[in-house]
Amino acid sequence: MSIIIKNKSDILSSEITDQKIYDGRREFIKNMGLGTAALLAGANMSIAEAKTQAQKYKNLAKSQFSTTEKLTDFSDITGYNNFYEFGTGKYDPAKRAKEFNPDPWSIAIEGEVEKPGVYNLEDFIKPYALEERIYRFRCVEGWSMVIPWVGFPLADMIKQFKPTSKAKYVEFVTLYDKERMPGQALRVLPWPYTEGLRMDEAMNPLTLMAVGLYGNELPNQNGAPIRLVVPWKYGFKNIKSIVKIRFTEHQPTSTWNKIGPKEYGFYSNVNPEVDHPRWSQKTERKIGEPFWAGKHKTLKFNGYGEQVAHMYKGMDLKKFF
Ligand SMILES: Nc1nc2c(c(=O)[nH]1)N[C@H]1C(S)=C(S)[C@@H](COP(=O)(O)O)O[C@H]1N2
Ligand SMILES: [Mo]
């Protein structure tokens, strides 16, 4: 396996020779189990072109953690988004992220790890078997979806970098590039978007790095090419288009916590018993259902208590919201 490790964190995969990237991509396609058509296409055209061909992840492992609830339609999952880098309206990202090209992509690994460096996406996700995980997804604004993600456990990835004993938290950072992310021209958020998890949350088997949904690559508006999925937390913890992961001794800040500490806590576990200061969190509207279907009860930890409640034993969840 060819992991590219650099000591300096300022070397991007775009600086590595084209042939190397080209070979890496072909490996990537093979390892992702994409269809023969895409593989053949990959041999003759750029990946960007190949991506527009029908291509599916094949033989995805099913997960014991998947819900059997009715899936939200693809059109809703990819048409109703929060991704302020492409505008603040729910229908903006689908339109304004169309031109975004997430290839090539690299992620800088920094901080309290034995193996920091800049890793090509293709290189560092190669060893992991991809799974389909159907998760409930609850936005802090009071709506929810059921999304069939394609991804791998963040824990498997983290182990590769050998965190030191000082690594108590993990910080994630989204790409900051005004040319490619037009929403960043407006100062609606302090860019780049960042998020954080406690180390045990990051290592929890439910925590996923998603690289696709509905059996295909991640659409740009959903955070291509790679984003975080933490199903027991509110939507905004699920940071998109990640370019940096930093391991820290102290609790990192996060974008929403920074701009509204009274409204958005660091933990942000889904909790119907703790209301948002401006609205109740007891119920949710399922996207795709007609309004007359009404609201549904929100579940503590979004229904994933069995897998995650133990991490918060003894903590006052009204204080650490
Ligand atoms: N970088 C970045 N990540 C982000 C956001 C964002 O604006 N920028 N929005 C968050 C919010 S509020 C939600 S609800 C989810 C939405 O994910 P989806 O569009 O895939 O449903 O992404 C989260 N991740
Ligand atoms: Mo959200």
The C-alpha atoms of residue 239 and residue 101 are separated, in whole angstroms, by 18
Domains in the chain (CATH in brackets) are 22-310 (3.90.420.10)
| pTM recorded for the entire structure | 0.85
Beta-sheet pairing, 242-248 with 106-111: parallel
Q: How far is the CA of 239 from the centre of ligand 1 (A)?
A: 6
- Pocket lined around ligand 1, Cβ cut-off 6 Å: 81-85, 139, 174, 193, 222-223, 235-236, 238-241
Q: Whose CA is closest to atom 21 on ligand 1? A: 81
pLDDT for 92-140, tens place per residue?
A: 999 999 999 999 999 999 999 999 999 999 877 766 789 999 999 999 9
Angle (CA) 185 187 188, round 5°: 115
Helices 36-44/18-31 angle, 10° precision:
170
Helix (H, G, I), strand (E, B) or coil at 51: helix
Q: Are 149 and 134 in contact (CB under 8 A)?
A: yes
Tell which residue, 259, 108, 244, has the closest CA to residue 173. 244
279 CA → ligand 2 middle, Å: 14
- Index of the ligand 1 atom closest to the CA of residue 213: 20
Ligand nearest the Cα of residue 79 is 1
Give pLDDT tens digits along the chain (321 positions): 333 333 333 333 333 333 333 344 434 444 444 443 344 343 444 444 444 444 578 889 999 999 999 999 999 999 999 999 999 999 999 999 999 999 999 999 999 999 999 999 987 776 678 999 999 999 999 999 999 999 999 999 999 999 999 999 999 999 999 999 999 999 999 999 999 999 999 999 999 999 999 999 999 999 999 999 999 999 999 999 999 999 999 999 999 999 999 999 999 999 999 999 999 999 999 999 999 999 999 999 999 999 999 999 999 999 999
* CA 254 to centroid of ligand 1, rounded, Å: 13
